[in-house]
Structure formats: C-alpha cells, structure tokens
Amino acid sequence: MIRIPYRTWFEFTGWLLCLIGWLFWLQGQIWWWQPLVLWVLVMVLFFLTRGLGYDAGAMPFMAVLAMTGWIFLTRLSPAWASSHTWGILIAGLAYLLGLWTGSKSFGHPLVWAGLAIGLLAATALFGQSAGGARAWISLFGLRFQPVEAARIFLVFYLAHYFTEGRSKRELFAVLGSFLLILAWQRDLGPALLVFFVFCWLSLHWQFSWLKLCGYLAVSVLGFVLACQWFPHFQNRVVAWTQPWEYLDSIGYQVLQGLFALRSGGLAGRGLGAGYVQVIPNVHTDYLFAVIGEEFGFLGTFALLMVYLGLAFWSLRLVHVMTEPRRQLIGLGLTLLLHLQVFLVVGGILRIVPFSGMTLPFVSFGSTSLAAQLGMVGIVAGLGGKGGGD
C-alpha cells in the first residue's frame, strides 16, 4: 500500500485553515463546522480504507477537490456550500458502498443493462426538465439525476460484453437504447461521455484502424444530426464557434468565462476579488472559471494536477488487476470521471463545445458527488486488499 506521509494531512489542514480564515475575514461569518465535519469525514474514510486493507491513495486528492469546491461555493453563497456539505456526507456513504461493491463479483450483465436503461426510462417518463434536459427525478422530497448511476451500471455491462464475447446485436440494443433515451431527454452531455467511454474501451480491448475510423465517422455523423435535431445543442455549437457574434445572448456565458480566466493572470485576483456575479450558472457549470479568476493560472494548473494524480492512482490499480473484467470496469470508471473533467474544462476554454456537466468533486451537485465518490470507492475495491502494494 502507498504510504501517505502524515505531514501531507498537516499541510492540507494548514492550507484549509488559511482559506477558512480568509473567508471569515472576507464575509464576516461562515459555518465553521462544515469544513470540520468534512475534514473528519475524509480522515475517517482514509483510515477506514487503510484499515480494511485497501489502497487509500485517492483520499488526499478527493479531499483537496471537495474542499476547494466548498471554499468557492461558500464564497459564492453559504446556502450552496451547505448543500455541498450534505452532498459530500452522502457521498461518503456512496464511497463505502462502492468499496464493498468493488470487492464483489460483477455477474448478471443483463441485470446491469436493465438497471441502466430502466433508470433512464423512468427519468424520461416521470422526470423534470432543467437547463433544456429532462434529467431529474423528485422522490420523497429528494431531487436527483438517475443518469449518474445509470452510466456506472452501463460500464459494468460493457465489461461483460467485451470479456465474454456477447452478441453484437445485444450490445446494439443496450447501447442504442441507452443513447436514444438520453437523446429523447435532450441530455446530450452524458450521452457524449458514455459514447466516448465505449469507444475507448472497445479500442483498448481490440484495436483496429478500421474500428477507429468507424467511431470517428459515427462521431461526426452524430454531431451533425445533433446540430439539426436539438436547438439547444446548436446554440452551444454557435456559442463555441462564434461567441463574439452573440455577446448579448448565447455567447455571453462563454465569453464571461474567458474574461474571468484572462483577468486571473498568473496568480489570480485573490479569493473574493473576482466578478463572479456576471457568469450564469457559475456554481454548477462554470466554477472552474471562478477558480481561474481568483487563483489564476497557478491555481487552475494545481487543480488539474490533482485530477492527474487521481487518474494516476486509479490507472496504477487497474494495471495490477489480473482479471480482465475488473480491469475494464476500473478503466471505464476512470474514463467516466476524467473525460468529464476534459469536457468541462475544455468547454470553458473553448477547446470543445460546452457540455453542461459538473466539474467532478468541485461543482455544486449532490447526485454527481455521490456517483463520483462511489466510482472511486469501486476502483479501490477492485484493486483488492493489498492492491496498492
């Protein structure tokens, strides 16, 4: 198991105390118990994971990301920070569930496929719309996004498909239904992410240039059809390619995000000194731009290095797994998490059209937090006891 120096936790604690102190001076009053509870939760999960014999190397990375999210959400609105705190507490339970799940066998592929499609079908039939997509369900006063769990279940099925040589007709039915329901819901960001993960897993399992060209052709065709059939996607493409032409409408958010990143410069304007109120949906879609404005290039670079460290931890565990199915599940979950980082950050930087998804562990959103910590827990469980040796 990787030996995490205890001084890492002292350094992390010192960094957190400094930021909390600055927030207290800046805003006059913050809910000081929230970071304390989160710090205790992270430490409990870290030592519990190590005590059970699993690799706890992901926990410092997740701690920095989650606390960064809490800091900036507190700076924006204490109410958002409070929801973020409760989301992380729930996500801690999801992590433990994932740790237990990862240590078990992943049988019954059609059950996983049925759960994935069933969750999306329920959302399509009974869900609520927000941001142009029908992606939410309210149940007993709780509002959540079933797609976050559905795509994890789909990765379980895909691992079975590749390792067991199941029929292509079955794959077409499962994957096609999954993507079509997401298209019906107009939830194109997760559909794009899932398609990329499938292509990557397929090429990883058996690479061929013909297959790669086929996936590229399907991607181009899907892009063209999405532009024709979905007005909100067409608006995002126009905002991506011609934001200056639509400064007062669909290009406003894109340009404000770029202005924020540029004004941050190398070291940033300082915590609390950014003009965050001018960016729409800043707490969900564009929190990375706020970090760039107030912490600068160095702050965003450090944040991306944390994601890179988390990816390295995950891929190192995947590399030592001996069972192909578990390897593919670990790789698929790693791709789900880090391709989402690329799509979100790339959308803000205008590398790709903006997808409307959250920045993992940082942005506001309890459902996504639970799914993301759950995925990390599954990867740790897949690595097995002593898997980090």
Is the pLDDT higher at 52 or at 275? Answer: 52
288 in a domain, yes or no?
yes
Mean local confidence (pLDDT), 251-267: 86
pTM of the predicted protein model: 0.90
CA distance 6 to 39: 14
280 in a domain, yes or no?
yes
Owner of token pair 């142009």: 132
72 in a domain, yes or no?
yes
Annotate the chain with three-state secondary structure: CCCCCHHHHHHHHHHHHHHHHHHHHHHCCCCCHHHHHHHHHHHHHHHHHHHCCCCCCCHHHHHHHHHHHHHHHHHHCHHHHHHHHHHHHHHHHHHHHHHHHHCCCCCCHHHHHHHHHHHHHHHHHHCEEECCEEEEEEECCEEECCHHHHHHHHHHHHHHHHHHCCCHHHHHHHHHHHHHHHHHCCCHHHHHHHHHHHHHHHHHHCCCHHHHHHHHHHHHHHHHHHHHHCHHHHHHHHHHHCHHHHCCCCCHHHHHHHHHHHHHCCCCCCCCCCCHHHCCCCCCCCHHHHHHHHHHHHHHHHHHHHHHHHHHHHHHHHHHCCCHHHHHHHHHHHHHHHHHHHHHHHHHCCCCCCCCCCCCCCCCCHHHHHHHHHHHHHHHHHCCCCCCC
389 in a domain, yes or no?
no
**Total domains, the chain:** 1
pLDDT digits (tens, 9 = 90+) for 87-100: 999 999 999 999 99
388 in a domain, yes or no?
no
pLDDT digits (tens, 9 = 90+) for 63-75: 889 989 988 888 8
Instruction: Supply the mean pLDDT for the chain.
Output: 86
CA distance 225 to 232: 13
pLDDT digits (tens, 9 = 90+) for 233-249: 888 888 888 888 877 78
The whole domain housing 307 covers: 6-382
166 in a domain, yes or no?
yes
164 in a domain, yes or no?
yes
Looking at residue 8, its pLDDT comes to 67
144 in a domain, yes or no?
yes
Mean local confidence (pLDDT), 319-347: 93
Centroid of chain to Cα 165:
30
Assign 2 a pLDDT band (cuts: 50, 70, 90). Answer: very low
